[in-house]
């Protein structure tokens, strides 16, 4: 019986070897990834379609949108296309990933950053609109472990305490570590896969002070009045939509319409204090905004000069405004 199966498979291969070789070549071309990624001009996401307050979408005359960059993996056909299509730019994967980190691992981590961004935007918007929000839980997620760190921590561990002390921010962790000495061992209690586990880390000296070589990102659980739901797609990740999310949530829960009938697009990270942070890929985000007829483009102050250069280079008809805080963005939209 096995001989018959073997003979049948052998005959099929001999009779169809050209077809099989062609398919192997096609699979190689389209699925083998070289160590590059390609940035392309993205598009915009109308945040009114993603925000539901008390079960209803907020409909305004204009729209508040976050811009995004399209990142394409470096397969051979995509790399060839990047030499033909304008503004498709190739970057080595190592420029956007950490050592020993794949592009897929980066994208998975970026999803956690997006969750944190939504939390920060919601908390900030409710506070600015004087609406009720109660934080019920803070989750400090380990997102970075330095190569030189001597620790048994793992990425995505939830940090519960450091030497029995609760730390709420990376600055608090840094302040505590700098009260110790190089070579001291620190006990870190974490939640790993639903179980508490004690880990350790050794304090070491750097030019920037004492460190244990870790960083964490805080996400929140909270209750709000009115109830709010922010939806995302599986393909979306990253924290660069934070500024526009905070403005869109504020617009949805307040009595005023800050769009004034305009198509407003922007980018920038946000923290719960309202500080706007620098982003990558402003060129692609601005081009995507212009392609979608945006009238105003908001960006972090750190990206403002680059955005102006892109506007001049491509002769874009769009107003660009750099902001350092949520309050500056809100004031600009209300007064212009």
pLDDT at 33 over 80: no
Who wins on pLDDT, 45 or 92? Answer: 45
Per residue in 3-14, pLDDT (tens digit) is: 666 666 666 666
| C-alpha to C-alpha distance for 112 and 115, rounded to whole angstroms | 5
The answer to whether residue 151 scores a pLDDT higher than 90 is yes
Ramachandran assignment for 23, one of left (phi > 0), alpha (psi -120 to 50 degrees), beta (any other): alpha
- For residues 79 and 51, which has the higher predicted lDDT (pLDDT)? 51
Q: With a cut of 90, say whether residue 81 has pLDDT above it.
A: no
Same topology between domain 39-76+109-131+230-335 and domain 137-218: no
More confidently predicted of 1 and 283: 283
Domain ranges of the chain: 39-76+109-131+230-335, 137-218
Cβ-count burial 216-235 (b if 16+ within 10 Å, e if not): bbbbbeeebeeebebeeeee
Q: pLDDT class for 42, splitting at 50, 70, 90?
A: confident
Q: Taking residues 52-76, report their average pLDDT.
A: 77
CA-to-CA dists, residue 162 to 8, 137, 166, 169, angstroms: 65, 18, 6, 12
Q: What is the pTM of this model?
A: 0.80
- Quote the pLDDT of residue 110: 81
Instruction: State mean pLDDT over 56-65.
Output: 79
Residue-wise pLDDT for 188-239, tens only, equals 999 999 999 999 999 999 888 899 999 999 999 999 999 999 998 877 778 8
Q: Which CATH number, 3.40.50.1820, 3.30.420.40, 3.40.640.10, 3.30.230.10, labels domain 39-76+109-131+230-335?
A: 3.30.230.10
Secondary structure, 3-state, the chain: CHHHHHHHHHHHHHHHHHHHHHHHHHHHHHHCEEEEEEEECCCEEEHHHCEEECCEECCCCCEEEEECCEEEEEEHHHHHHHCCCCCCEEEEHHHCCCCCCCHHHHHHHHHHHHHHHHHHHHHHHHHHCCCEEEEEEEEEEEEEECCCCCECCCCCCEEEEECCECCCCHHHHHHHHCCCCCCCEEEEEEEECCEEEEEEEECEEECCEEECCEEEEEEEEEEEECCEEECCCCCCCCCCCHHHHHHHHHHHHCCCCCCCCCEEEECCEECCCCEEECCCCHHHHHHHHHHCCCCEEEEEHHHHHHHHHHHHHHCCCCEEEEECEHHHHHHHHHHC
Q: Average pLDDT for residues 149-158, to the nearest whole number?
A: 93
CATH (one of 3.40.50.720, 2.30.42.10, 3.50.50.60, 3.90.1170.50) for 137-218: 2.30.42.10
Task: Find the farthest-apart pair of alpha carbons in the chain and give their distance in angstroms, rounded.
Answer: 83
Mean pLDDT score of the chain, rounded to an integer?
85
The confidence band for 136, taking pLDDT boundaries of 50, 70 and 90, is: very high
| Mean pLDDT of all residues in 246-269 | 94
Return d(Cα 102, Cα 294) in angstroms, integer.
Answer: 34
195-202 vs 158-162, strand pairing mode: unpaired
Identify which has the larger pLDDT, 104 or 263.
Answer: 263
Q: Which of 47-51, 110-114, 230-234 has the highest mean pLDDT?
A: 47-51
């Amino acid at each position: 019986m096995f001989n018959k199966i073997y003979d049948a498979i052998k005959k099929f291969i001999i009779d169809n070897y050209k077809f099989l070789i062609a398919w192997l070549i096609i699979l190689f071309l389209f699925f083998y990834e070289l160590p590059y990624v390609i940035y392309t001009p993205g598009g915009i996401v109308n945040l009114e379609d993603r925000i539901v307050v008390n079960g209803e979408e907020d409909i305004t005359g204009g729209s508040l949108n976050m811009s995004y960059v399209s990142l394409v993996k470096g397969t051979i056909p995509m790399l060839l296309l990047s030499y033909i299509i304008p503004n498709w730019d190739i970057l080595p994967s190592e420029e956007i990933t950490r050592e020993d980190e794949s592009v897929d691992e980066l994208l998975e981590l970026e999803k956690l950053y997006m969750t944190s961004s939504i939390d920060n935007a919601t908390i900030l918007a409710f506070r600015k609109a004087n609406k009720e929000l109660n934080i019920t839980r803070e989750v400090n997620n380990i997102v970075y472990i330095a190569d030189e760190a001597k620790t048994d921590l793992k990425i995505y561990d939830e940090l519960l305490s450091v030497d029995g002390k609760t730390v709420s921010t990376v600055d608090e962790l840094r302040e505590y570590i700098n009260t110790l000495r190089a070579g001291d061992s620190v006990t870190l209690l974490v939640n790993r896969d639903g179980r508490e586990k004690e880990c350790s880390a050794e304090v070491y000296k750097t030019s920037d002070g004492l460190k244990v070589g870790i960083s964490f990102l805080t996400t929140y659980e909270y209750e709000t009045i009115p109830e709010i739901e922010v939806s995302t797609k599986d393909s979306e990740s990253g924290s660069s939509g934070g500024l526009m999310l905070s403005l869109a949530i504020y617009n949805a829960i307040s009595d005023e319409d800050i769009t004034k009938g305009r198509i407003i697009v922007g980018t920038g990270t946000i923290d719960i204090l309202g500080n706007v942070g620098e982003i990558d890929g402003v060129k692609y985000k601005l081009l995507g905004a212009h392609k979608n007829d945006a009238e105003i483009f908001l960006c972090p102050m750190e990206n403002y000069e680059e955005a102006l250069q892109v506007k001049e280079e491509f002769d874009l008809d769009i107003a660009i405004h750099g902001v350092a805080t949520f309050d500056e963005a809100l004031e600009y939209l209300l007064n212009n």
